[in-house]
Amino acid sequence: MNTATIRWITLGLLVLWLFFVLGSFFAVQKPFAAGNVVAVGSVLLNLLAAIWLVAISLGLGAWLLNRLAADTFGLGETVVLGTGLGLGLLGLLVFGLGLVGLFHPWAAYVITGGLSLAAAPQLWRLFQQGRTWKFTNPPHPLVVVYLAVIGLLALLVALLPPTDWDGLFYHLTAPKLYLEAGRIVSGIDVPHFSFPSLMEMLFAWAMLLRGDIAAKLLHFSFAPLLAGLVYLTARRFLSQKSAWPAVVILASMPMLGTLAGWAYNDLALAFYQLASLYAALCFLQLAVSGQRSAVSDQRLSIIALSAIFAGLAMGLKYTSFVTPVVVGLLILWDALRTTYHALRTTSHPLRSTFYALMPFLLFCLIALLVASPWYLRNWFFTGNPVYPFLYGLFGGAFWDNFRTEWYAAAGTGIGWRPSTLLGLPWLLTLGVRDANYWDGRTGPLLLLFLPLVIGWALFRRDDRPPALNALLFYMTAQFAFWTLGVIWSRALWQSRLLLPGLVALAPIAGWVWSELPRLDTPQFSFSRFVNIAVVLTLALTVIDTGLLTQKINPLPYLTGLESRDDYLTRRLGAYYAAMQQINTDLPLESTIVFLWEPRSYYCHLDCRPDSILDEFPHLVDQYQTADAIARNWHDVGVTHVLIHRNGLQFVLNEQPETIDTGVLSALEENYLQPVFDVAGAYQVFEFEFEGGSSLRAGD
- Predicted pLDDT of residue 357: 83
H or E stretch at 593: strand 591-595
Q: What pLDDT sits at residue 211?
A: 95
Q: Contact at 8 Å (CB) between 442 and 429?
A: yes
CA distance 113 to 454: 51
Backbone Cα Rg of the chain: 29
**Mean predicted confidence (pLDDT) in 506-515:** 95
Give the Cα separation of 82 and 270 in Å (integer): 16
Percent of the chain with pLDDT over 90: 74
Up-side HSE of residue 12: CA atoms within 13 Å toward CB? 6
Check whether 698 has a pLDDT greater than 90. no
pLDDT beyond 80 at 150:
yes
Tell me the per-residue pLDDT of 256-265, one tens digit each, with 9 for 90 and over. 999 999 999 9
pLDDT of 614 over the 90 cut: yes
Q: 459-463: list long-range contacts, CB under 8 Å, 24+ apart.
A: none
pLDDT of residue 1: 64
DSSP per residue, 282-348? HHHHHHHTT---TT-HHHHHHHHHHHHHHHHHHTT-GGGGHHHHHHHHHHHHHHHHHHHHHHTT-S-
* Nearest alpha-carbon partner for 580 in 563, 594, 570, 565: 565
Contact in structure between 326 and 384 (CB atoms under 8 Å): no
- Across 286-295, 456-465, 549-558, least confident range: 286-295
Residues with Cβ within 8 Å of 642's Cβ and at least 6 positions away in sequence, in order, are 578, 582, 592, 593, 594, 595, 597, 607, 682, 683, 684, 685
Instruction: Spell 328-340 as b/e; 16+ CB within 10 A means b.
Output: bebbbebbeebbe
How far is Cα 630 from Cα 489, in angstroms, rounded to an integer?
33
Whole-angstrom CA distances from 350 to 218, 328, 339 are 48, 21, 10
The answer to whether residues 175 and 203 touch, using CB atoms and an 8 Å cutoff, is yes
Alpha-carbon torsion 656, 658, 663, 668, what sign?
negative
Q: Tell me: pLDDT of 408 over 50.
A: yes
pLDDT at 695 over 90: no
Choose the most confident range, by mean pLDDT, from 222-231, 292-301, 356-365.
222-231
Give the pLDDT band (50/70/90) at residue 369: very high
How would residue 438 be classed by pLDDT, with cut points 50, 70 and 90?
confident
Is the pLDDT reported for residue 102 higher than 80?
yes
Q: Which residue has the higher pLDDT, 276 or 691?
A: 276
The closest alpha carbon to 334, from 369, 302, 310, belongs to: 302
Q: Cβ atoms within 10 A of the Cβ of 226, count? A: 29
**With 90 as the cut, is the pLDDT of residue 519 above it?**
no
Confidence of residue 33 (pLDDT cuts 50, 70, 90): confident
Q: Could you tell me which of 364, 369, 371 has the C-alpha nearest to residue 314? A: 371
What is the pLDDT averaged over residues 335-364?
73
- For residue 579, give the nearest of 567, 562, 592 by alpha carbon: 592
690: which DSSP letter? B
Q: Note the pLDDT tens digit of each residue in 312-325.
A: 999 999 999 999 99
Q: Are 615 and 594 in contact (CB under 8 A)?
A: yes
- What does the pLDDT read at residue 8? 85
Q: Which residue has the higher pLDDT, 295 or 90?
A: 90
40-88 pLDDT per residue, tens: 999 999 999 999 999 999 999 999 999 888 778 989 999 999 999 999 9
Could you report the per-residue pLDDT of 441-500, keeping only the tens digit for each? 999 999 999 999 998 888 877 778 889 999 999 999 999 999 999 998 888 889 999 999
pLDDT of residue 289: 58
Query: How many of the other CB atoms lie within 10 Å of CB of 321?
Result: 16
Please, which residues have CB within 8 angstroms of residue 132's CB and are 6 or more apart in sequence?
A: none
Contact between 362 and 303 under an 8 Å Cβ cutoff? The reply is: yes
pLDDT tens readout for residues 526-553: 999 999 999 999 999 999 999 999 999 9
User: Given this model, what pLDDT does residue 345 score?
Assistant: 61
Question: Going by C-beta distance under 8 Å and a sequence separation of 6 or more, which residues neighbour residue 325?
Answer: 477
Let me know if 588 is exposed, middle or buried by CB neighbors in 10 A (0-12, 13-18, 19+).
exposed
CA–CA separation, 568 and 560 (whole Å): 14
Q: What is the pLDDT of residue 294?
A: 42
CA distance 61 to 81: 8
Strand 682-687's sheet: what is its strand order? 606-608, 591-595, 640-644, 682-687, 672-678
**Coil vs helix vs strand at 591:** strand
Amino acid at 263: A
pLDDT of residue 286: 80
Q: Is 680 buried (19+), middle (13-18) or exposed (0-12) by CB count in 10 A?
A: exposed
Q: How many CA atoms lie within 13 A of 531 on its CB side?
A: 13
pLDDT at 295 over 50: no
**Residue (of 96, 91, 31, 34) closest to 61 by Cα position:** 91
Mean pLDDT within 2-30: 86
**Residue range 640-674, pLDDT digits in tens:** 999 999 999 999 998 889 899 999 999 999 999 99
516 phi, psi to nearest 5 deg: -60, -30
Overall fold of domain 573-687: Rossmann fold (3.40.50)
| Average of per-residue pLDDT across 413-427 | 87
Asked if residue 429 lies in contact with residue 255, where contact means CB atoms within 8 angstroms, the answer is no
Mean pLDDT for the chain overall: 91
In the three-class reduction of DSSP (H, G, I as helix; E, B as strand; rest coil), residue 168 is classed as helix
Residue 697: pLDDT above 70?
A: no
pLDDT of residue 107: 95
pLDDT class of 410 with cuts at 50, 70, 90: confident
Is there a contact between 298 and 72 (Cβ–Cβ < 8 Å)?
yes
Q: Is the pLDDT of residue 694 over 80?
A: no
For residue 462, the model assigns a pLDDT of: 74
Q: For the chain, what are the domain ranges?
A: 39-134+159-264, 274-404, 409-514, 573-687
String of DSSP letters for 403-457: HHHHHH-TT-S-TT-HHHHHTHHHHHHHTTT-SSSGGG---SHHHHHHHHHHHHH
Whether pLDDT at 699 is above 50: no
Q: What is the DSSP string of 177-234?
A: HHHHHTS-------GGGGS--HHHHHHHHHHHHT-HHHHHHHHHHHHHHHHHHHHHHH
Mean predicted confidence (pLDDT) in 561-568: 96
CA dihedral 421, 275, 273, 469 (to 10 degrees): 30
What CA–CA distance (Å, rounded) separates 80 from 274? 12
